[in-house]
């Protein structure tokens, strides 16, 4: 990770960590970088945060000042930006969003012309420009100044693409959607309605400050209640920029990313479509996923946390399915990033083709008790390199042995240390997480 760009772009509290000036300079650099040989074409999307408009306009100012053209998708999803950039000959795409974070945060995520996250080399160069370590870039003059264009048509084409992926009509299916007051508020219901489902949607009234607030993939209680009250077949919750999906089965039980990987991995293998007979997961995935995959004779690859690393492993090996417990799931045959709506559609395919409810499809996987706590710190590296922390980490790992594990890591998007313990009982998880959290808090 760089100084500003983490595993999911440049993210932090708006106008405190990430400012309008940062956005302008990122626009300036990208506008110059892609305008050296021919007119640069950069497409921009944003979520519903109040600050997203400010950052969008700052990016546009920087891009056009450097001579490239900016194309505006307006409020849309991260995966839609990835789709448009790779299918419509753009040099790069930018998404303004802090994903599942509260509205006070925001972020800038840059995608290359293939729809993948931009290279570390370009991120490093942008950081150097932001910090004044690169000479000032030339401004475009006269008719060389770039223009900004409305490009809502790109978002509509993405919706059409999603609808085209469905293998069956959803007629007769009752589906709940929680759009998190975010990017899917004007997209997801249209897709499911067009496919014939009886759709019930909540979290569709964004006001700039309520994105992810008691809704969406990180707060699924409202969706669980909706599914049970309306007797729905299934529910899907998205996060602020819709690169995540958490499902709810007909009984109201949460079906998170590990379950989704199991259900879809098993189905793809049965269909002969699981390339390399391998599912890509991260070190944060539950032990229960790996044991369930072993039972099905499916191999797995573990990566560092972050869909960026999942995607890299998939691209390098030609794998077709990978993701995280948080609901970032990548179906590489159809997309280059996690895509919440696409994930929902792929689960619907399994449900309809097997004629089995989601609860039964997921029943072959047993979750090990797992507890995760975040500790907010001022310096993540100081904590991670502390000798007392290292010693306790080793001690807990030895005491758990093969009956569990402890995972201590820096967040790539927030100033926190994540402490996760997996064990045979909730009591053991709480005991060991508590020990580590108590130690870290004495060092803050």
Q: Rounded CA gap, 330 and 341, in Å?
A: 11
Q: 309 near 322, Cβ under 8 Å?
A: no
Q: Is 243 annotated as a binding residue?
A: yes
Q: Rounded CA gap, 334 and 347, in Å?
A: 14
Q: Rounded CA gap, 80 and 191, in Å?
A: 13
What number is the average pLDDT over the span 313-319?
Answer: 96
pLDDT at 436 (0 to 100): 97
Q: Rounded CA gap, 227 and 280, in Å?
A: 30
Average pLDDT, the chain: 95
Is the pLDDT assigned to residue 2 strictly greater than 80?
A: no
Is the pLDDT assigned to residue 397 strictly greater than 80?
A: yes
Beta strands in 47-197 (DSSP E): 69-75, 92-96, 105-111, 148-150, 174-178
Q: How confident is the model at residue 60 (pLDDT cuts 50, 70, 90)?
A: very high
Q: Which helix (H) or strand (E) holds 325?
A: none
Q: Rounded CA gap, 358 and 57, in Å?
A: 43
Q: 128 near 49, Cβ under 8 Å?
A: no
Joined tokens for residue 354: 């097997």
Please count the residues of the chain: 444
Residue 363 appears among annotated catalytic residues:
no
Q: Is 241 annotated as a binding residue?
A: yes
Task: Mention every residue, 6+ apart, whose C-beta is less than 8 A from residue 351.
Answer: 173, 233, 234, 357, 358, 361
In this prediction, what percent of the chain has a pLDDT beyond 90?
A: 93
What number is the average pLDDT over the span 16-34?
Answer: 98
Is the pLDDT assigned to residue 187 strictly greater than 90?
A: yes
Task: Assign 365 to helix, strand or coil.
Answer: coil
Task: Indicate the angle between helix axes 50-65 and 20-33, nearest 10 degrees.
Answer: 40
Joined tokens for residue 379: 């310096």
Q: Can you count the helices (H) and strands (E) in the chain?
A: 15, 19
Joined tokens for residue 339: 């895509």
Q: Are strands 245-248 and 234-238 parallel, antiparallel or unpaired?
A: antiparallel
Task: Assign 202 to helix, strand or coil.
Answer: strand
Joined tokens for residue 133: 């370590």
The residue behind tokens 């499809």 is 361
Is the pLDDT assigned to residue 58 strictly greater than 90?
A: yes
Task: Mention every residue, 6+ apart, whose C-beta is less than 8 A from residue 25.
Answer: 62, 126, 129, 130
Is the pLDDT assigned to residue 17 strictly greater than 90?
A: yes
φ, ψ (nearest 5 deg) of residue 246: -120, 130
99, 180, 326, 411: which one is catalytic? 99
pLDDT at 1 (0 to 100): 61
User: Helical H runs in 195-256?
Assistant: 221-229
pLDDT at 415 (0 to 100): 87
Q: Rounded CA gap, 188 and 348, in Å?
A: 14
* Dihedral of the alpha carbons of 427, 428, 434, 435, in degrees to the nearest 10: 150
Structural domains of the chain ordered from first start: 5-156 (3.40.120.10), 166-362 (3.40.120.10), 370-442 (3.30.310.50)
Give the pLDDT confidence of 247-301 residue by residue, as tens digits: 999 999 999 999 999 999 999 999 999 999 999 999 889 989 999 999 999 999 9
pLDDT at 412 (0 to 100): 73
Q: How confident is the model at residue 411 (pLDDT cuts 50, 70, 90)?
A: confident
| Among 58, 64, 60, CA closest to 73 | 60
pTM given for the model: 0.89
Classify the C-alpha dihedral 47-52-57-60 as positive or negative.
Answer: negative
């Amino acid at each position: 990770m760089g100084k500003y760009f983490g595993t999911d772009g440049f993210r932090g509290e708006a106008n405190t960590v990430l400012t309008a000036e940062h956005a302008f300079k990122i626009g300036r650099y990208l506008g110059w970088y892609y305008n050296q040989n021919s007119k640069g074409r950069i497409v921009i999307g944003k979520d519903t945060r109040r600050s997203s408009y400010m950052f969008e306009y700052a990016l546009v100012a920087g891009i056009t000042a450097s001579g490239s053209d900016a194309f505006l998708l307006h409020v849309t999803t991260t995966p839609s930006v990835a789709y448009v950039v790779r299918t419509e000959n753009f040099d790069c795409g930018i998404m303004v969003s802090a994903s599942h974070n509260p509205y006070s945060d925001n972020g800038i995520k840059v995608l290359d012309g293939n729809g993948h996250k931009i290279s570390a080399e370009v991120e490093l160069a942008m950081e150097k420009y932001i910090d004044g370590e690169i000479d000032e870039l030339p401004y475009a003059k006269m008719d060389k100044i770039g223009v900004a264009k409305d490009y809502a048509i790109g978002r509509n084409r993405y919706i059409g693409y999603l609808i085209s992926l469905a293998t069956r009509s959803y007629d007769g299916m009752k589906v709940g959607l929680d759009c998190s007051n975010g990017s899917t508020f004007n997209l997801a219901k249209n897709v499911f309605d067009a496919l014939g489902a009886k759709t019930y949607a909540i979290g569709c009234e964004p006001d700039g400050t309520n994105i992810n607030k008691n809704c969406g993939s990180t707060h699924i209680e409202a969706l669980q209640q909706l599914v049970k009250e309306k007797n729905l077949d299934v529910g899907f919750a998205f996060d602020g920029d819709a690169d995540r999906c958490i499902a709810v089965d007909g009984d109201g039980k949460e079906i998170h990313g590990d379950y989704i990987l199991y259900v879809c991995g098993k189905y793809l293998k049965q269909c002969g479509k699981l390339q390399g007979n391998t599912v890509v997961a991260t070190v944060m995935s539950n032990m229960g996923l790996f044991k369930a995959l072993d039972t099905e004779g499916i191999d797995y690859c573990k990566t560092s946390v972050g869909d960026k690393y999942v995607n890299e492993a998939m691209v390098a090996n030609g794998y077709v399915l990978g993701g995280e417990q948080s609901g970032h799931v990548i179906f590489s045959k159809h997309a280059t990033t996690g895509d919440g709506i696409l994930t929902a559609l792929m689960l619907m395919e399994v449900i309809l083709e097997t004629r089995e409810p989601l609860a039964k499809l997921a029943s072959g996987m047993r979750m090990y008790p797992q507890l995760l706590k975040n500790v907010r710190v001022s310096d993540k590296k100081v904590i991670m390199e502390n000798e007392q922390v290292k010693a306790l980490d080793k001690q807990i790992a030895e005491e758990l042995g093969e009956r569990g594990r402890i995972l201590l890591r820096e967040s790539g998007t927030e100033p926190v240390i994540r402490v996760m313990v997996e064990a045979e009982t909730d009591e053991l998880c709480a005991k060991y997480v508590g020990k580590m959290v108590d130690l870290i808090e004495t060092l803050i």
